[in-house]
Chains A and B, each alone.
Chain A
Amino acid sequence: MLRTQFNSARVVEAYVGEYASGKSEMAINRALELKSQGRQVTLVDLDTVEPFYTLRPLKELLEQKGLTVIGFSRPEAFGLGETGAMLTPAARWALRREGDIIFDVGYGVYGARTLNLVEEADTSTELRVIAVLNYSRPMTGSKARIIEYIKELGRVDALVANTHLGDETTLEVIEEGTRIIIECAGELGIPVDYIAIDKKFAGEWNLELFAIPVKWITRYMPAAMW
């Protein structure tokens, strides 16, 4: 897996992964993190398979926080009852925009190939494709399944360990999942960028456990039910 060379100053990341693995949550938190550093950030919704939980219902909220959001807002997602048209034209040319670009890529059998919908994604030297993994998701609920899943996904530059059980998440659950994901990353030769943990665990989590940085996540998606 050739690591693309990162020479540009800006951050261009696409979050891919299994259905309900936390792609949107990671994309939003990452975009807001960059924004808090005073950077210009565009968040792009590329969720195309029957999006019910998408960042669209949060579009206004996120725009108030200073992000540019490419994606239909809920009323705009016209569809006469269907969950709405999928893709905004602007999403295709997102790479032509200034500043950091964060893609929230939907799931589906094509995995990361959804990025084909973005012009020049295949030739971009800036783009890093990050696969989000939640060990509590059955499809990625064992070492074998994780490795098989990542290989099927297509191009992946890095992993994010995002193990959780929603409201029933415990430190043990996070720890076990993170250990397995790190082992898989080793075998796959793909780096783990960070471990994503709900900020409510900030005081309790033992930062020494793993040599990988932790990012404290604020959960926005529960409010995003279509």
Chain B
Amino acid sequence: MLKVVDETKKAFLTGNETVAWAALAAGADIMFGYPITPQNEVMHYWTRLAPRYGRDFLQTEDEISAGFTVCGAVQAGKKAFTATAGPGNVLMQEPFGMAEAMRLPLFAIIQQRGGPSSGTVVYSQQEVALTTYGGNGEGYRIVYSTATHQEIYDYTIKGFNVAWKYRFPTFLLGDGYQAKMREPLEMYDPEEKGIKLEPTYPLVGLPGKIGEGREPQHLCNIYSLEEELYEVVMKLSADYERIAPDLVEWQEHSCEDADIIILTHGIVSRAADDAVKALRAQGIKAGYFRPITLRPYPSQQLREAIAKSGAKILLIAESSYGQFERLTKQEIYGETIKIEHLYMPGVGIVDYDIINKVKSVL
């Protein structure tokens, strides 16, 4: 099979394009998609490159179909994925829910755009609630919130592996800025870096003759009695809670003696990182904490950061109106630290927005 990345090399890419290259490098077999800004270039690059590496693509009639075709393909044992945004993410909640219930290794890239409704095509962090707990289930999902193109590359490869290993729908949560921004990153072949690609196997269309050494496979996601569903949901929850500790990822620095901890995720964490450095230079003891997995949330780690720092204030900054704050509060219930927030829904946040807010609350 033609190698996608023949030698580890620095390259200059846009975010969407990074997704396409990383998916190829991860051995993805097929992409299903539908046009929606700002993720279109994922499709543009995948359709240009896929034939060269024997991969496949279908533009479906809409996002609902894109989600369900991915469910079908992964049931058949192929590495399938999709990419969408905003209203498309809303439409995909139905197939995402099916993937939760049937433990399907669906992988999806979400480039957040302004909401609600058609909102803007540009940028936001307003799909946090939808991506972590959307649908009519309990949020059996794994959600990585990336901030840099290197992370987009790394977590696209990791996303496929995690989805197939732990068998829960997995999401790379980016945004319109990351989608279109250009920056350098290191492209690599996973195996060169010692990253083993998780094997795939079908749930239907198994090899062998039915009745001779193999039984027919009957998959379902509907039950007759409440008690039956109760058993299924309790098992799903137990399985998810058992693997959560292995999946949780976060970053933190300067919390040891922080008076105020700045809590951000995704691209806003880059601004928070700059803000903390600038504040420290001005003698203000600011700390930096950034969940990389929004689901499962690093709640224990955040509690520890709060405890060891003795900080008096936790400042949450997000390009939405409280979705990240609500997610955080439910995870650190009982903490008595004062919580301040900086909401800038659908708008980029830069370091001095955070610096000014810190000064106004301290």
| Bind each other | yes
Interface assignment of B11: CB less than 8 Å from any CB of chain A: yes
Say what secondary structure dominates the interface of chain A.
loop
Are B37 and A136 in contact, CB atoms less than 8 angstroms apart? no
Are A141 and B182 in contact, CB atoms less than 8 angstroms apart? no
Question: Which of the residues B11, B44, B184 comes within 8 Å of A141, measured between beta carbons?
Answer: B11
Question: Which of the residues B10, B11, B12, B180 comes within 8 Å of A52, measured between beta carbons?
Answer: B180
Interface assignment of B327: CB less than 8 Å from any CB of chain A: no
Residues of B within 8 A of A76 (CB): none
- Of the candidate stretches B113-121, B218-226, B230-238, B241-249, the one touching chain A is B113-121
Are B184 and A50 in contact, CB atoms less than 8 angstroms apart? no
Are B182 and A20 in contact, CB atoms less than 8 angstroms apart? yes
Interface assignment of A134: CB less than 8 Å from any CB of chain B: yes
Question: Which of the residues A53, A82, A109, A166 comes within 8 Å of B12, measured between beta carbons?
Answer: A166
In the bound complex, how far is the Cα of B38 from the Cα of A226, in angstroms? 12
Q: A81-B119, A138-B17 in contact; A19/B11 too (CB < 8 A)?
A: no
Are A19 and B17 in contact, CB atoms less than 8 angstroms apart? yes
Least distance between A150 CB and chain B CB atoms (Å)? 15
How many A residues touch the partner, as a band? 20 to 34
Least distance between A132 CB and chain B CB atoms (Å)? 13
Chain A residue nearest to B187 in the complex (CB)? A138
Residues of B within 8 A of A137 (CB): 11-13
User: 4 closest pairs, A vs B, by CB?
Assistant: A52-B180, A136-B12, A165-B184, A168-B184
- Other than A136-B12, A166-B182, give 9 A-B pairs with Cβ distance below 8 A: A20-B12, A109-B48, A137-B11, A138-B11, A138-B13, A139-B48, A165-B12, A168-B10, A225-B181
Q: Which residues of A contact B (CB under 8 A)?
A: 19-20, 49-50, 52-53, 81-83, 109, 134, 136-139, 141, 164-168, 173, 225-226
In the assembled complex, 16 residue pairs joining A and B whose CB atoms fall closer than 8 Å, in A order, are A19-B17, A20-B14, A52-B38, A81-B114, A83-B122, A134-B12, A136-B184, A137-B11, A137-B13, A141-B11, A164-B12, A165-B184, A166-B182, A167-B183, A225-B180, A226-B180
Q: Which residues of B contact A (CB under 8 A)?
A: 9-14, 17, 21, 37-38, 40-41, 44, 48, 114, 118-122, 176-177, 180-184, 187
